[in-house]
Amino acid sequence: MLRSAASALLRTSTELAALCSVSTVRFVQQSPRLPPRKRPFSTSVCLCKKKKKNQKSLWQQLAEGQTMDGNIEEILAPLRLAVKEQGDLVRQMKQDGAPDVDVTKAVAELKARKRTLEARELSLQPKDDIVDRTKMEDTLKRRFFYDQAFAIYGGVSGLYDFGPVGCALKNNMLQAWRQHFIQEEQILEIDCTMLTPEPVLKTSGHVDKFADYMVKDVKNGECFRADHLLKAHLQKLMSDKKCAAEKKEEMESVITQMDNYTQQELTDLFVKYNVKSPTTGNDLTAPISFNLMFQTSIGPGGNMPGYLRPETAQGIFLNFKRLLEFNQGKLPFAAAQIGNSFRNEISPRSGLIRVREFTMAEIEHFVDPTEKVHPKFSNVADLDIMLYSSKAQTSGQSAQIMRLGDAVEQGVINNSVLGYFIGRIYLYLTKVGVAKDKLRFRQHMDNEMAHYACDCWDAETKTSYGWIEIVGCADRSCFDLKCHARVTKVPLVAEKPLKEPISFNCCCRCTSHYRRQYEF
């Protein structure tokens, strides 16, 4: 299934100049407020360093089988070895049936070593595409691509308004998405409400699990996201010239494992490093779990709790039965939805990347689980795409250019349906201007794969913030439909006629069954 195929991409318009050349992004209609000779992205030329003539991009070097500079490889070699050794240890512990607590610690260490390796790789790559982010964002705001919402009242963090040119850019990207996916793939488009009753999101798991840890200033109540605040505090301590090398190494280890800490472990770290409010210096509360959904009530009585939807996919799952009927009960079929989603981020930052209201475009493709073969896979099989497989990550290797057909044949990608959509996503992203040398597909490792997924890949782009996920593409099995069917008692299943009847004996003396039932 294709998830969030344009969600973060629309949130990262500030990075477009870093991701593509000036000529790759065009408007279908010229805004009447912008003279034709002044192109919207012309300012990016003076904000980015130009590549030297005949200098090859990283993508070209990888495609031609070239490796990094010898000195760079010498620097990275011990880091690669450390990742490989830990990856081998994790695999061995799982084979031996080691206790879960020990496996979890080993996995956390593997992730930490992997992040250290990736950070070092990024720091050693050529700086020919550096963007002056401050100048870029200032230019985009002055030309009113976008601006902070409610600016004359002081603004609200995480909320933005798009201006005339920003709207034109966003609309053209959505138009390209509809043409590329919905029209060319004959996908069924729906438009669902953004208000969602609590039981729906309780069933999907969002009410219980869609949360981050937060701390508060004990005096003025100002809130901060715990992991972000701790990271910033440690980086400040490490920048002190008086900080010992041993202490720096210890704090670097904490930062690399930030995503793996439990609530109690975060609490202990805040006490150990004496973290205070960065704005007032006041004490902070212990980290608490904060649900990221905007809560509301439906109706004047206030007795029907609800939320603004955090994603658009649930609307597709809830309408599966209607969609199947509309498609005359035939499989496979796909449904799509484009619309706004809401996440009450604790401390929004990084420009348009982490915001509280944003546009998502999602597709759910429903297929016979015994026939995961896409008839049009040959159309994308010859694409050369930068793949960062799970095996490469646990072995300390870099992402490699690989033919998509070979990746499916060799089992790197689980099946051709998943492979087909990876190819289509790649074509869309490059069509709207993402440079292919700044685009890769990273496979989820076994220890981060959702329990209901058999394979999952994230499309990531290299920006001034590092590698940022913009698309998720996963084989999710029938997890969501099963959850909603179990609670509502409505069978969200499809039936398929069999070529030959299946005969069997049972207690009621039936002798044949002519239809097979599938759950998606």
Question: What is the reported pLDDT for 129?
Answer: 62
Mean pLDDT across 21-35? 34
Residue that is written with structure tokens 């790649």 in the block: 426
Confidence band for 409, pLDDT divided at 50, 70 and 90: very high
37-41, 164-168, 470-474: range with lowest mean pLDDT: 37-41
This prediction's pTM: 0.76
Regarding predicted confidence, which is higher, 50 or 110?
Answer: 110
Confidence of residue 232 (pLDDT cuts 50, 70, 90): confident
pLDDT of residue 128: 59
Alpha-carbon distance 367 to 71, whole Å?
Answer: 49
- The CA distance from 166 to 169, in Å, is 5
Q: Identify the bridge partners of residue 462 per DSSP, sorted by sequence position.
A: 467
E strands, 95-205, are 146-148, 160-162, 188-189, 195-197
Q: What is the CA radius of gyration of the chain?
A: 25
Mean pLDDT of 134-146: 92
| Of residues 412 and 107, more confidently modeled | 412
Rounded CA gap, 221 and 280, in Å? 11
- Position 22 scores a pLDDT of 32
Beta strands in 138-231 (DSSP E): 146-148, 160-162, 188-189, 195-197, 211-216, 223-225
pLDDT, position 510:
52
CA distance 283 to 260: 24
The rounded Cα 264 to chain-centroid distance in angstroms is: 27
| Structure-block tokens of residue 181 | 């996916």
Which of 130, 125, 89 is CA-nearest to residue 106? 89
Query: Residue 458 — pLDDT band, cuts 50, 70, 90?
Result: very high
Q: Which has the higher per-residue pLDDT, 453 or 7?
A: 453
Q: Give the largest CA-CA distance in the chain.
A: 84
- pLDDT tens for 233-274 read 998 888 888 888 888 888 887 887 777 788 898 999 999 999
d(CA 68, CA 434): 23
What pLDDT is attached to residue 504? 66
Enter the DSSP assignment of 284: B
Residues in the chain: 520
Residues 483-507 pLDDT 10s: 999 999 999 998 877 777 777 666 6
Q: What percent of the chain has pLDDT over 70?
A: 82
What is the model's pLDDT at position 408? 95
Q: What is the per-residue pLDDT across 356-380, written as a single tens digit (0 to 9) for each?
A: 999 999 999 999 888 899 999 999 9
Of 63-67, 185-189, 195-199, the one with minimum mean pLDDT is 63-67
Average pLDDT over residues 63-80: 70
Q: 15 pLDDT exceeds 50?
A: no
Cα distance between residue 292 and residue 209, in whole Å: 9
Quick one: average pLDDT of 73-99? 84
Query: 40: which strand partners?
Result: none
Report the alpha-carbon distance of residue 324 to residue 322 in Å, rounded: 5
**Using an 8 Å Cβ cutoff, are 190 and 314 in contact?**
no
Give residue 434's pLDDT band: very low, low, confident or very high (50, 70, 90).
Answer: very high
Confidence of residue 82 (pLDDT cuts 50, 70, 90): confident
Span 333-342, average pLDDT: 96
pLDDT in tens, 278-301: 888 899 999 998 888 999 999 888
Contact assessment for residue 517 and residue 498, using Cβ atoms and an 8 Å cutoff? no
| Structure-block tokens of residue 107 | 């996995």
Average pLDDT score over the chain: 81
CA–CA distance, 344 with 225 (Å, rounded to integer) = 11
- Give the amino acid at 301: G
The predicted structure's pLDDT at residue 48:
44
Residue 245: the pLDDT is 83
In this prediction, residues 306-316 reach a mean pLDDT of 94
Point out the least confidently predicted range of 37-51, 258-272, 315-329, 336-350. 37-51
